[in-house]
Amino acid sequence: MMRIEPREAPGRLLTLGVPVLSALVALALAAIPLMLAGAPVFAAYGEMARGVFGSLFAFSEVLTRTTPLIFTGLAAALAFRAKLWNIGAEGQLYLGAMAAVAVGAGALDVPGWVLMPLIVVLGAAAGAAGMMVPAVLKTRFGADEVVTTLLLNFIVLIFVQMMLEGPLKDPMGLGWPQSAPILDQGMLPQLIPRMRVHAGLILALVLAAVAQFMLARSVWGFRLRAVGENAHAARHAGIGVNRTMLSVAAVSGGLAGLAGVSEVAGLKGYLTADLSPGFGYTGIVVAMLAGLSPAGVVVSALFIAGVFVGADSMSRAMGVSSYLADLVVSMALLSVLVGGFFARYRLRLGPERPPGRGPGQASGKEQGHG
Amino acid sequence: MADIVQILLSESFWAASLRIATPLIFGVLGALMCERSGVLNLGIEGIFVAGAMAGWMAVWLGAGLWGGVVVAALTGACFGLIHAVLTVPLGLSQHVSGLGVTLFATSASYFAYRTALPNVSSPPRIEPFRALDIPVLSDLPVLGPVLFQQTALTWLALILVGIVWYVLERTPLGVAIKAVGDNPDSADAQGLSVQGLRIGAVVAGSALMALGGAFLTMSAFDAFFFGMVNGRGWICIALVIFASWRPGKALAGALLFGAFDALQVRLQTQVGALVPGQLFLMAPYVLSIIALVVAARRAEYPRALLKPWFKGQR
């Protein structure tokens, strides 16, 4: 008879080891699609490694990719900690990017020290506003935020297309549906000459540190965790559950909005409807791999960015579809889920013990209906 | 106003409504089946993509149309099994597992498509399901064009509504599925296998979802495109709540949705010059959110939805 037992205390090694192991398992599993695609497996891994570590430029590209993923990863990590299922980071990212070009692409010709912060603040505000809609629909009407945030992603993307063919369209853009470029003084500065990595990375790292501190040490962080762990008990303890939810929604949406700001004002310079290759959704994987810890988000964003950049370069060299990266990322999510289970429980072979603590309590506690 | 009345009176409008509703009928039935047993399946969007891709590719490789339908359903069942194993015996977060399955199924489908067809500019076409055109019946006024000139997959969807309703409401199996979704402890006390029933319901429901995807590539269109599912899975999740987890209401909800969508397409051609076309494109998603908000207050979720269950624990 096989049974499942909780571990007494999942040690530090296990909590850190599981995500690392899951990431490695996902990378190793990529061998299967590589073989199916008929590519030489070891050479393909070699190409991927070269694409990530091969040169300073290669690694700077990884850092460039890491930047938006830290923002969307933080957005998901904070929201999920409070059991607020914000799956709408993709849409909030576009709202932030839209606000950035609306104010930054010539509407205001002011010095950079005014324009740059203005773009950042307005972009975050737009993302926050975007998340307030589903959050209010949840707290006021009880509409499930999973579905509303998912649907809003589609609505926002169509709205972006509408704006890019209307008010935000670049008159000099030769008819392409793209916005006018952000004024030079409004662009986030580059960190290394002739490389694309930009100050958005610094902002992302600072915010990750702030989020880590706030979550662990502040009253707001305490409320957030209390609501996430047990909304019922939190309400009894006098915590305003809805107020906390709304504030988490604003912060989460704002962070996702900053991903859009950083892509448009740090990298691309102008807005198109294909600004994000799913950074919002990938942020969920980043957050889960990080065990919903803001500090961990930085590390897992780096890993995921490496997978994307490495797979891109492998794809160019060997003609294997770059969807391999998405495949690895999704497998990393599934394996970290399973790994998290084995960090908390162990399988024992032997006779059944009298019913005691099993997976029910611990995982049940985490699942309270959202 | 006169325009709208004219549209509502036209046979082609009602035929289009049913056509647009068909993938949603499959999807809502599948999602309903999973949720009735207590498992939310957010893998639906990816399972739609996988069903669309696998069904189409099977036909393209020469399996025949019905062969493609079977392949699509089996593909959906496989992805459903992943979600079932993660959420039922392992009891992991249904939200995260479902999203993981969506990402996995979507990227696996795209990767497989790109690997099979590395350098095609226009997607290869298959010979899709044809309208049935049943003699005599399809010549009936109104009913003929609306009902009897649809493809076999639309008919399959309508028949499945009846089957799912019958199984859930009239058979011991249905009672058992609903019991594990509402009160697993008492279901267990009656000797039912809670985990077995949940796994079965999720696998069967996922197979149904995949048929919704297959309809897209094998009946609505004749090829596979990236992004062709376009949120239909998420719309189904909203419609299940709107339909209070009942197959009959699910059919009504999907038809209502199809009618609105068909209406907006026709209005678009009439007032297209006055309003940006994107407003019409947003309509299905806005409509789903409105439906969700309207239904949320009185929604009676299956009581054990999202709650993992393990033997020997209360």
CA of A193, closest CA in chain B: separation in Å? 35
Summarize the confidence of residues B243-258 as an average pLDDT: 94
**Contacts A368 to B, Cβ<8 Å:** 306
Instruction: Give residue B130's pLDDT band: very low, low, confident or very high (50, 70, 90).
Output: confident
Which domains does chain B possess? 20-119+129-296 (1.10.3470)
Return the pLDDT at B141.
73
Instruction: Report whether pLDDT(A363) > 70.
Output: no
Return the pLDDT at A366.
40
Instruction: Report whether pLDDT(B247) > 90.
Output: yes
- CA-nearest of B139, B117, B76 to B224 is B117
CA of B109, closest CA in chain A: separation in Å? 9
Instruction: Report whether pLDDT(A215) > 60.
Output: yes
Contact A121, A114 (CB under 8 A): no
Range with lowest mean pLDDT among A147-161, A234-248, B251-265: B251-265
Contact A270, A181 (CB under 8 A): yes
Summarize the confidence of residues A58-74 as an average pLDDT: 97
The label of the residue with tokens 């209906």 reads: A369
Return the pLDDT at B219.
93
**Contacts A161 to B, Cβ<8 Å:** 278
Q: What's the distance, CA A353 to chain centroid? A: 42
Domain range annotation of chain A: 2-365
Instruction: Report whether pLDDT(B231) > 90.
Output: yes
First-to-last CA distance in chain A? 35
Q: Quick one: tokens of B203?
A: 């696998």
Instruction: Report whether pLDDT(B66) > 80.
Output: yes
Return the pLDDT at A369.
40
Summarize the confidence of residues A342-355 as an average pLDDT: 67
Summarize the confidence of residues B176-195 as an average pLDDT: 95
Instruction: Give residue A311's pLDDT band: very low, low, confident or very high (50, 70, 90).
Output: very high
Instruction: Report whether pLDDT(A355) > 70.
Output: no
Return the pLDDT at A286.
97
Summarize the confidence of residues B78-87 as an average pLDDT: 98
Contact A159 B278 (CB under 8 A): yes
Angle of helix A279-289 relative to helix A56-81, nearest 10 degrees, comes to 80
Q: Alpha helices of chain A — where are they, by DSSP H? A: 12-29, 31-36, 41-53, 56-81, 89-104, 112-141, 145-165, 200-217, 219-229, 231-236, 241-262, 279-289, 294-318, 323-344, 359-365
Q: Quick one: tokens of B274?
A: 């006055």
pLDDT tens figures, A249-283: 999 999 999 999 999 999 999 999 999 999 999 99
Instruction: Report whether pLDDT(B70) > 50.
Output: yes
Q: Quick one: tokens of B109?
A: 């489908």
Q: For residue A262, count other CB atoms closer than 10 A to its CB.
A: 28
Instruction: Give residue A360's pLDDT band: very low, low, confident or very high (50, 70, 90).
Output: very low
The radius of gyration computed from the CA coordinates of chain B, to the nearest angstrom, equals 20
Q: What is the pLDDT of chain A when averaged over all its residues?
A: 90
pLDDT tens figures, A313-327: 999 999 899 999 999
How far apart CA B170 and CA B173 sit, in angstroms, is 9
* Percentage of chain B lying above the pLDDT 70 cut: 97
pLDDT tens figures, B257-270: 999 888 888 887 77
Return the pLDDT at A41.
94
Which residues does A242 contact at the CB level (< 8 Å), separation at least 6?
A139
Instruction: Report whether pLDDT(A358) > 70.
Output: no
The label of the residue with tokens 């490695």 reads: A24
Q: Establish if A167 touches chain B: CB-CB under 8 angstroms.
A: no
Of residues A154, A326, A358, nearest to B310 (C-beta)? A358
Residues B202, B205, B211: CA angle, nearest 5 degrees: 140
The label of the residue with tokens 């079965």 reads: B200
Instruction: Give residue A10's pLDDT band: very low, low, confident or very high (50, 70, 90).
Output: low
Total residues belonging to chain B? 314
Return the pLDDT at A367.
40
Contact B276 A330 (CB under 8 A): no
Return the pLDDT at B314.
55
Summarize the confidence of residues A335-344 as an average pLDDT: 88
Tell me which of B183 and A172 has the higher pLDDT.
B183
Task: Tell whether the torsion through CA atoms of B150, B153, B159 and B160 is positive or negative.
Answer: negative
Return the pLDDT at A2.
61
Instruction: Specify the CATH number for A2-365; select among 2.40.50, 1.10.3470, 1.10.3450, 1.10.287.
Output: 1.10.3470
Contact B234 A151 (CB under 8 A): yes
Summarize the confidence of residues A341-354 as an average pLDDT: 69
The conformational region for residue B312 under phi > 0 = left, psi -120 to 50 = alpha, else beta, is: left
Interface test with A, best of B49, B96, B306 (most A CBs within 10 A): B96
* Percentage of chain A lying above the pLDDT 70 cut: 92
Beta strands in chain B (DSSP E): none
Q: What's the distance, CA B307 to chain centroid? A: 23
Return the pLDDT at A357.
47
Contact A144 B106 (CB under 8 A): no
Contact B238, A147 (CB under 8 A): yes
Instruction: Report whether pLDDT(A303) > 90.
Output: yes
pLDDT tens figures, B206-218: 999 999 999 999 9
Contact B233, B23 (CB under 8 A): no
CA of A34, closest CA in chain B: separation in Å? 10
**Contacts B234 to A, Cβ<8 Å:** 147, 150-151
Tell me which of B168 and B146 has the higher pLDDT.
B168
Contact A127, A185 (CB under 8 A): no
**Contacts A72 to B, Cβ<8 Å:** none
Instruction: Give residue A349's pLDDT band: very low, low, confident or very high (50, 70, 90).
Output: low
pLDDT tens figures, A15-50: 788 899 999 999 999 999 999 999 999 999 999 999
* ipTM of the shown complex: 0.92
**Contacts B108 to A, Cβ<8 Å:** 33, 327, 330
Of residues B115, B293, B307, nearest to A143 (C-beta)? B293
